[in-house]
């Protein structure tokens, strides 16, 4: 029979395979995809806000209370991703300056990829720690993460496309990013209790990063595309759909 290590590794591998949700968009024409992409970005923004305020903050509060240390970790996450975006913008500027042949990929895409990698790493940690408690707890956590990852991966793929990646490249890098869940699980299995204590710092940092991406990168992108009242109202509706999806997952979970 499989031990908890086997269950853990199979679970995080299945979670990683959700990144292939992007295949759903491969048969959509370029023209139609460009038309719906901004609404997918709206859903992604809503899902990120929902993830932070509906899932992560309550989890942080339940684990350790919202202490000043947690608040500082949250702000550290915002600061880390602000610095990271500055570095990416700087690199992007110098690449353009020297006329490197990069397909004008927006810094937003790299930012999203970075935060997704950290998010997936934390998912792997959480799943492994749950299996270390018992098998049913691990299976329940895996199911919760699985449901949570479906809108997250669609959102990540959409952001990469909007940021300038081709469909094939977006699918590939999204899958590579998702493999960080396996790394997170391995780290948890090796370090055990040390990782449990680090969760109180890592989860708020991840939450700060998600909030930064949603507020400073995705929302401005939506404002750029609000050409008329109908489009703006549809974006608002899709934003609410993203938030509602995360609320529904909480209820189902």
Question: What digits encode the pLDDT tens for the residues 208-243?
Answer: 877 887 888 788 888 876 668 888 999 999 999 989
Average pLDDT for residues 139-168, to the nearest whole number?
82
Cα distance between residue 165 and residue 145, in whole Å: 26
The total of other beta-carbon atoms located within 10 Å of residue 67's CB is 13
Per-residue pLDDT, 170: 92
Domain-by-domain residue ranges, the chain? 4-13+30-252
* Helix, strand, coil share (%) of the chain residues, nearest 5: 90, 0, 10
Cα distance between residue 45 and residue 39, in whole Å: 10
pLDDT greater at residue 4 or residue 43:
43
User: Minimal CA–CA distance to 55: which of 210, 222, 233, 232?
Assistant: 210
Per-residue pLDDT, 178: 92
Per-residue pLDDT of 63-115, as tens digits, reads 666 788 888 988 998 898 788 778 766 665 555 444 444 456 778 788 888 88
pLDDT reading at 180 higher than 90 = yes
pTM value > 0.75:
no
User: Minimal CA–CA distance to 155: which of 74, 98, 208, 217?
Assistant: 217
Per-residue pLDDT, 10: 93
- Greatest mean pLDDT among 145-159, 172-186, 214-228 lies in 172-186
Per-residue pLDDT of 52-74, as tens digits, reads 888 778 877 776 667 888 889 88
Read off the pLDDT band of 50 (50, 70, 90): confident
How far apart, in Å, are the Cα atoms of 64 and each of 43, 197, 201?
30, 10, 10
- Crossing angle of helices 193-212/68-97, nearest 10°? 60
Average pLDDT for residues 29-54, to the nearest whole number?
83
Cα distance between residue 253 and residue 136, in whole Å: 14
Integer-rounded Cα radius of gyration of the chain: 18
Per-residue pLDDT of 115-142, as tens digits, reads 888 888 888 888 887 787 678 767 877 8
């Amino acid at each position: 029979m499989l031990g908890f290590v086997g269950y853990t590794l199979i679970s995080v591998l299945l979670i990683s395979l959700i990144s292939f949700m992007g295949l759903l968009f491969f048969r959509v024409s370029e023209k139609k995809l460009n038309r719906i992409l901004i609404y997918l970005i709206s859903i992604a923004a809503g899902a990120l806000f929902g993830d932070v305020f509906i899932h992560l903050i309550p989890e942080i509060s339940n684990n350790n209370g919202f202490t000043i240390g947690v608040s500082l970790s949250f702000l550290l996450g915002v600061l880390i991703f602000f610095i990271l975006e500055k570095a990416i913008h700087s690199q992007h500027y110098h690449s353009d300056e020297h006329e490197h042949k990069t397909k004008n990929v927006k810094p937003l895409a790299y930012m999203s990829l970075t935060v997704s990698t950290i998010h997936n790493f934390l998912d792997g940690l959480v799943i492994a720690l749950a299996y270390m408690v018992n098998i049913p707890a691990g299976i329940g956590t895996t199911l919760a993460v699985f449901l949570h990852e479906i809108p997250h991966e669609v959102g990540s793929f959409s952001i990469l496309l909007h940021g300038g990646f081709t469909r094939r490249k977006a699918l590939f890098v999204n899958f590579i990013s998702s493999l960080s869940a396996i790394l997170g699980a391995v780290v948890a299995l090796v370090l055990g209790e040390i990782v449990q204590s680090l969760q109180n710092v890592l989860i708020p940092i991840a939450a700060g990063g998600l909030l930064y991406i949603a507020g400073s990168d995705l929302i401005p992108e939506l404002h750029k595309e609000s050409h008329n009242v109908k489009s703006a109202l549809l974006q608002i509706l899709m934003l609410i759909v993203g938030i509602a999806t995360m609320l529904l997952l909480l209820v189902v979970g």
